[in-house]
Amino acid sequence: MERITWDQFFMAQSHLLALRSTCTRLAVGATIVREKRIIAGGYNGSISGDEHCTEKGCYVVDNHCVRTIHAETNALLQCAKYGTQANGADLYVTHFPCLPCTKTIIQAGIKNVFYAKDYKNNPYALELFAKANVNVVHVPFDGVKIDFLKDEKLTLAVNMLEKLRGLGASSEELLPFEEKVNELFGRFIKA
């Protein structure tokens, strides 16, 4: 297995946190890091003890769910709750922060924001980050690199293609499937 970079490692942590999200509109995860050590993490969801969007549906006001605390804010609140300084730390988040989270990130003293996916990137948020000297870096997340079953899935795909070939599927019929296997696994499968 190929060794992933630190940025991919921390982004993977954020994607894992997003799997805990109770938001039905968009699952987001955030990881706060200092000196290559995780100091806090958060995902978007309801406050402790309240109903979750997965249970009661979103509580939408002005096209925004007011039931949800955003992942970045939850991670920063975790720092505050347990007495861990966020000042000078890095933030890894699955999606570009919204404007209110941008303000919170800046006020908390985060120095670098790494995000995996563009999401309604607000120009004013970018302006605020620039004014506050917060470095913002797009780090596309490559989930294939953390797929623990990648080799088994590739073997299954190859075996299925061979079975189809043995049952009489033509090269032309198999070509789109072989191309998809090559795209997903980054390996060359030949008819």
Query: How confident is the model at residue 186, as a pLDDT?
Result: 72
Percentage of the chain surpassing pLDDT 90? 71
> Per the confidence metrics, is the pTM higher than 0.85?
no
Q: How many CA atoms lie within 13 A of 91 on its CB side?
A: 36
Concerning whether 178 is annotated as a catalytic residue, the answer is no
Specify whether the CB–CB gap between 118 and 98 falls below 8 A: no
Q: Can you tell me the distance from the alpha carbon of 161 to that of 143, in angstroms, rounded to the nearest whole number?
A: 24
> Which tens digit of pLDDT belongs to each residue from 83-116?
999 999 999 999 999 999 999 999 999 999 999 9
> Which tens digit of pLDDT belongs to each residue from 27-80?
999 999 999 999 999 999 999 999 999 999 989 899 888 999 999 999 999 999
Query: How confident is the model at residue 1, as a pLDDT?
Result: 56
Q: Which of 2, 35, 55, 72 is catalytic?
A: 72
Q: Which residue has the higher pLDDT, 141 or 96?
A: 96
